[in-house]
Structure 1
Amino acid sequence: MTRPAEILTALAVGAGFGAATSLVNALSDSYADFESRAYTTSGWSIAEIVSVLLDSGWAWAGLAVAVGWLITRAREGRPPAPAWGGALAGALALLAATAAYSIVDTIRSGGQLPWYTSEPPLWWVASVVFGAPLGAVGACVKRPGAIGLLARLTVPVGAAVQMVVLPPGRNEVVQAIGRTVVWTAAAVSVGFIVVRFLLVERRRRSQAAAESP
């Protein structure tokens, strides 16, 4: 990953995700009635569910993986880029997402402080610490065999695990809806990925057997 266009792509996708997440959070807040005890304990809205899903750790991890794949995938006349390109792309995407999220939040709230102070330093460090390996995982998505399979399973399995360990949501209803959506999507994704992998492996072995003397 040495072309400026690829770096700009990683930054643009990350910035778009971060800005969208902040705007959806704002939309969710506009529907909330926190003065109502009933809403606080059991209320929910579609905007809030979307906000919870976008602002979850697995979604940000998925951003890094997706950008790592996007930047390093093979293109016509070019071999796939190395894994380090995906690592750089993942880190840049999460840094851009954090920056865009911070800027939009600052604008929305009318904050006077420099925009980069609205997010704790931990998130900037985490963007690099987690973005790089996740981007490298994205670069491995198209690889054959077990490595490619594990790379493709990273996001759906990680999302399902987060719903068990740390489900997002301010009340049990929101958490339950979030779990249902994520677990359903994860199960469908894992099933599709595994079945496709088995079919490809079966085809590959059949071709190898046909070509052997």
Structure 2
Amino acid sequence: MKIMAVGVAIGAGFGAATSLVNALSSPYTHIGAPITGTLWGGTAKVLSLLMDAGWAWAALAVAVGWLVGTPVRGALTGALALFAATWTYYVTDAAVADAETDMVTWWVAGLPLGLLLGAVGSAVRRPGVVGLLAALTVPVGAAAQMVVMPPRPHLVMTPGIILAEVIVWTAAVSGAVWAVRRFRVARRTAAAD
């Protein structure tokens, strides 16, 4: 139960951090305007492009599902982490960016997705094809989002956008290589026994 609470706290922290980074990256908020055009503003923009992506929120649910380890607890923790992340995101948004809320819509979407992704996260530890497919979920999801909807909020490619895309592609490829390598090592070890 304690580990589930940690997963929910991680979700809450992620949601608040994502909202705060978004506000810092915007020249239209009272906390973002003073750092616009500085190194800090550019850094916030890159972090915003990384953290406010669908694959990052999916990775949150998968990670907390992996953390708790069992399918039922992983599923519940994944959903609760997305609920907590959504709540803290919108509460922080209201405080730092005077933003409107669409929390209920994202809670409705987060419930089935959180349950599914949390269960997937708990399966990452499993050996064999199930563990491989679970471990590939986030890297493949990130790559798919990069193809279908890359983080390009502007028509012009900026250094920050290029850096964010390089980071995502590097992480996606690295995660896929790790998953496949782990699977192959486990198969060789099992065959040797």
Q: 1:110 offset after TM fit, Å? A: 5.2
Query: What secondary structure is seen at the aligned counterpart in 2 of 1:118?
Result: coil
- For 1:100, the equivalent position in structure 2 comes to 88
- For 1:202, the equivalent position in structure 2 comes to 188
- For 2:48, the equivalent position in structure 1 comes to 51
Taking the aligned partners of 2:98 and 2:108, their CA distance within structure 1 comes to: 25
- Structure 2, unaligned runs of 5 or more: 27-31
- For 1:193, the equivalent position in structure 2 comes to 179
Amino acid of the residue matched to residue 3 of structure 2? E
- For 1:38, the equivalent position in structure 2 comes to none
Q: Which is greater in Rg?
A: 1
- Tell me: CA distance 1:17–1:144, structure 2 relative to 1, closer, same or farther (3 Å): same
Of 74, 84, 87, the match for 1:86 = 74
Q: 1:180 offset after TM fit, Å? A: 2.1
> Contact 2:90–2:103 at 8 Å: present in 1 too?
no
Q: 1:200 offset after TM fit, Å? A: 1.8
- For 2:102, the equivalent position in structure 1 comes to 119
Q: 1:17 offset after TM fit, Å? A: 0.4
Normalising by structure 2, report the TM-score.
0.86
| Worse overlay, 196-205 or 157-166 | 196-205
Q: 1:121 offset after TM fit, Å? A: 2.5
Taking the aligned partners of 2:17 and 2:103, their CA distance within structure 1 comes to: 20
Query: What secondary structure is seen at the aligned counterpart in 1 of 2:152?
Result: coil
- For 2:29, the equivalent position in structure 1 comes to none
**Mapped pair 1:132 → 2:115:** yes
Deviation readout 1:82-105 (Å, 9 max, x if unpaired): x12111110000000000001111
- For 1:36, the equivalent position in structure 2 comes to none
Taking the aligned partners of 1:191 and 1:131, their CA distance within structure 2 comes to: 25
Taking the aligned partners of 2:55 and 2:98, their CA distance within structure 1 comes to: 29
Amino acid of the residue matched to residue 9 of structure 2? A
**Mapped pair 1:143 → 2:140:** no
RMSD: 1.8
Normalising by structure 1, report the TM-score.
0.78
Amino acid of the residue matched to residue 99 of structure 1? W
Q: 1:120 offset after TM fit, Å? A: 4.5
% identical equivalent positions: 48
> Contact 2:23–2:97 at 8 Å: present in 1 too?
no
Deviation readout 1:145-166 (Å, 9 max, x if unpaired): 0000000010011001100001
